[in-house]
Chains A and B, each alone.
Chain A
Amino acid sequence: MTITESSVAPTPHGSHRLTTAKAMVEAIELEMERDPSVFYLGEDVGPYGGIFSSTTGLQERFGPSRVIDTPISESAFIGLAIGAAVEGMRPIAELMFADFMGVCLDQIYNHMAKIHFESGGNVKVPMVLTTAVGGGYSDAAQHSQCLWGTFAHLPGMKVVVPSNPYDAKGLMTSAIRDDNPVVYMFHKGVMGLPWMVRNPRATADVPDGSYTVPIGQAKVVRPGTDATVVTLSLSVHHALDAADTLAAQGVEVEVIDLRSLVPLDRRTILESVSKTGRLVVVDEDYQSFGLSGEVAATVTDVDPGLLRAPIARIANPDVPVPYARLLEHAVLPRQHRIEEGIRRVVYR
C-alpha cells in the first residue's frame, strides 16, 4: 500500500525540503564554513543542539570551540559576544527564551545596541542575538512571550522575525553578514519541531546553497483586494488559513508578512492599505504600547483618509499568558479571532 495522494509535492531541482529549524541551522552552517570568525554560544547549544533545535548537529560538525555551551550567565556570555564582536569576530549568542531578557537586558540594550552610536560609528558590533519566542503549548506566563515590540522599541538593534523555512535561512544569512547587532526571533511554533503540534506551514522547499533575504523588507505573501492583514511569525500561518476560509466566502484578503521589525517596511504597509482601505494587524505580542499600535500609526501618520474602517488589532491582550489550554488559546490571536477581525473591517 502506498500513499498516492501526498500533501508533499516533489521538490524542484536545486532545492530541498526543510523545516524552519533545519533551514536556520543550514544558514548558520554555511556561514560558519565560509567565515571562521562566526561562532555560536548559548545554553544547551552543544550536544543538545538547542532546546528548540536551533543548532542541531553544529557542534558535531564544527567542534566545541566554535559551538559553545555556556553556564547560565546571560549577562556574561551575551556581553562576551559583544566584546568578541567589537574585536572583529561574528558571534551568534542565543538567549534561550526571549522571556529571559530581564536577566541580561542591560548588555542588550545599553551595550550591544548603543556602542556603535556612542562611539560615533567608530566601533561596530556585528553580532546576532537569537531567541525563541511564542506560546500555544501551555508553557505559561514566563515562557510564552513574544516581546518583539520591546526589542523593536529600543534603538540600535535590528530585529527580524522569520515565519517560514525560506525566510529563516535567508534572514539568518543576512543577520550574520550584517555589521550591526541583529536580534533574530524565532517562534517555537514555526520551527517544525516533532514534539510540538504538527504545522504543515513549518516545512517547505528551500534553495540549495547560500542566499540572503534582505533585512527591512516585508513580503506580500498573499495578494488581495478587500482587506490588508499585516502580521508576522506564526500569525502569518493563521492569517493565511483565515484568508483561505474567507476566500470561499468571497472576501479576498491581502496578507503581509513583515519579516523584519527594525527596520520596518512602512512602504509595503501603506501601498497595501492604499489599495484595500481596511487594515487588520495580527500580533502575538501584548496589544498596548507595541507593534500593533506602531503599524496603525504608520498609516494614520501619513493619511487617516486611506482607511474606510477603523483598524482592527488582533493581539494578545495586556495579560500574562495563562497556563490552562482553554485560557491560553482564548488570548492568542488564532484563526477565529483573525477571521472575526477581518469581517469587522470588511462588513462595516
Chain B
Amino acid sequence: MTTTAPQGPSVITPPDAATRLELYRTMVLARTFEEAILREYHADKGPGFDIGKGLVPGEMHLAAGQEPVAAGVCAHLTPDDAVTATHRPHHFAIAHGVDLDRMTAEIFGRESGLGHGRGGHMHLFDPAVHFSCSGIIAEGYPPALGQAFAFRHQGTDRVAVAVTGEGAANQGAFHESLNLAALWKLPVVFVIEDNDWGISVPRAASTAVASNAVRGAAYDMPAERIEDNAVEAVYDAAGRAVARARAGEGPTLLEVHTLRLWGHFEGDAQGYRPDLTDVPGHDPIPTYEQTLREADVLDDALVSRVAQEALARVDRAIAFAKQSPLPDPSDATAYVFS
C-alpha cells in the first residue's frame, strides 16, 4: 500500500484582482531577473566555458519556472518575517523584497553588494528583511527554527519560512528540524520546491515516498502537496500555513511540485533529462497570464507595462552592479570577526 500525498482543496477561491496582479508582477520580475543574470553570466565565459571567468564567476543556480512558489508564499509575509532560501535563491529574495541593487552587486562580487562581495550568489543576507540563504542542502532549516524561536520569545507573531528542494528532504538536518519545530510548536512554514531533479537524479531514485508531504505525518505536522505549480494554489495553502504559525499553532510542511526550466546550474547540459523538449511548454508564467487575461485582470497594455517595468528595474540593478567598485584585495581577510 502506498500512502497518497495529502492535498489541499480541489477548488480554490481566487484572490482579489489586486493580489492576482501582484502575484503576476512578482513572477515576471523574478523571471526577468533570472533571464538577465543568465545573459550576463554567459556573456564572457568563452571560448568554451570557463566557470571562473567573467563578471559573474562561479556556480549559478537560476530559478526560472519556480516563481509560483516564491510569489505565492511571500505574498503573505511582511519585511519582519524571515525567509531562509537555498542555493537557488533569487526568486525568493525578489518576492520577499530584498534590496535588488545590492543583491545584484553581490552576485557581481562588488564592494557595494549585500556582503561586500564576500558571499556571492549562494550566500545572500539582507537583515533588513530577515533574508538569508545557504549553499549546503537542508542546512538552512535549523537556523530558520532559531529565528522562529526568537520571534516567539520576543512576543511577536512573526514567522520564519524555510525553503529547500525535494532532495534535501533526505538529509538528516531536514528531519531533525521538522521534529524539533513540531515538538516546540515553532512558527515555521517549511516549503519544499519539488522540481523533480536533485541535479541529475530524479526523485523516484532518491526518495522512498511518492511525496514528501506524507512525511509530515511522521512528525505530527500538517502537510500538503500542491501538484500543478499554480501560484494561486500556493497562495491559498501558504496563507493557511502562515496563519497557523502566527496563531501559535505550530509549523506546516508545504510541498510544491514545481518546474526547473533550465539546468541545475548554468553549464549543466541536462543530458539526463528525457523530457527536455517538452519543458518550455509547462512554463507557469504564460499559463497564469492566460488565466488572468480570461479573468479580465490582464490585457495587452498591462502585460506590456508589467514587462517593461520589470525590465527597467532589472536593467537598473545590473547597471548599479556593473558601475560598483570591485573589492580591494588587501581587505580580503576583513569581516571574519565583529
Contacts and interface: CB of A to CB of B under 8 A. Distances in A.
Asked if the two chains touch in their complex, CB atoms less than 8 Å apart, one says: yes
Interface string B146-166: 111111011000001000000
A86 B143 contact: yes
Interface in A145-178: 155-156, 158
Interface stretch (B171-179, B255-263, B268-276): B171-179
A121 B335 contact: yes
A120 B146 contact: no
B229 interface: no
B86 interface: no
Contacts of A88: 150, 154
A85 interface: yes
A70 interface: yes
B113 interface: yes
Contact of A87 (B125, B146, B180, B183): B146
A78 B173 CA distance: 11
B67 interface: no
Interface string A294-324: 0000000000000000000000000000000
B338 interface: yes
Interface string A123-139: 11000000000000000
Contacts of B146: 79-87, 91
A79 B132 CA distance: 13
Contacts of B127: 86, 119, 122-123
B145 A111 contact: no
A73 B337 contact: no
B143 A120 contact: no
B313 interface: no
B150 A87 contact: yes
B136 A106 contact: yes
A83 B173 contact: no
Nearest to A73: B176
B111 to A, nearest CB: 9
B216 interface: no
A120 B327 CA distance: 11
A77 interface: yes
B142 A116 contact: no
B134 A111 contact: yes
Nearest to A158: B337
Nearest to B133: A118
Contact of B139 (A107, A117, A158, A179): A107
A251 interface: no
B114 A120 contact: yes
Contact of B180 (A70, A85, A107, A114): A70
Interface in B114-136: 114-119, 123, 125, 127, 130, 132, 134, 136
Contacts of A84: 146-147, 149-150, 153
B103 interface: no
Most chain B beta carbons < 10 A, residue from A73, A91, A155: A73
B144 interface: yes
A71 B113 contact: no
A124 B139 contact: no
Contacts of B151: 87
Interface in B217-268: none
Interface string A87-126: 1110100000000000100110011001111111111100
A15 B285 CA distance: 71
Given A75-B139, A115-B132, A80 B145 contact: yes
B336 interface: yes
A119 B153 contact: no
Q: Which 10 interchain pairs have the tightest Cβ spacing?
A: A79-B142, A83-B146, A120-B116, A83-B143, A76-B176, A87-B150, A119-B125, A118-B119, A73-B176, A84-B146
30 contacts: A71-B176, A75-B139, A76-B173, A79-B173, A83-B143, A83-B146, A83-B160, A87-B82, A110-B136, A111-B134, A111-B139, A115-B132, A116-B338, A117-B118, A117-B335, A117-B336, A118-B118, A118-B119, A119-B114, A119-B118, A119-B119, A119-B123, A120-B114, A120-B119, A120-B335, A122-B114, A122-B115, A124-B338, A156-B336, A156-B337
Interface of A: 70-71, 73-89, 91, 103, 106-107, 110-111, 114-124, 155-156, 158, 179-180
Interface of B: 82, 84, 113-119, 123, 125, 127, 130, 132, 134, 136, 139, 141-151, 153-154, 160, 172-173, 176-177, 179-180, 183, 334-338
Given A79-B145, A83-B160, 9 more contacts: A80-B142, A80-B143, A83-B145, A83-B147, A83-B149, A116-B336, A117-B119, A121-B116, A179-B338
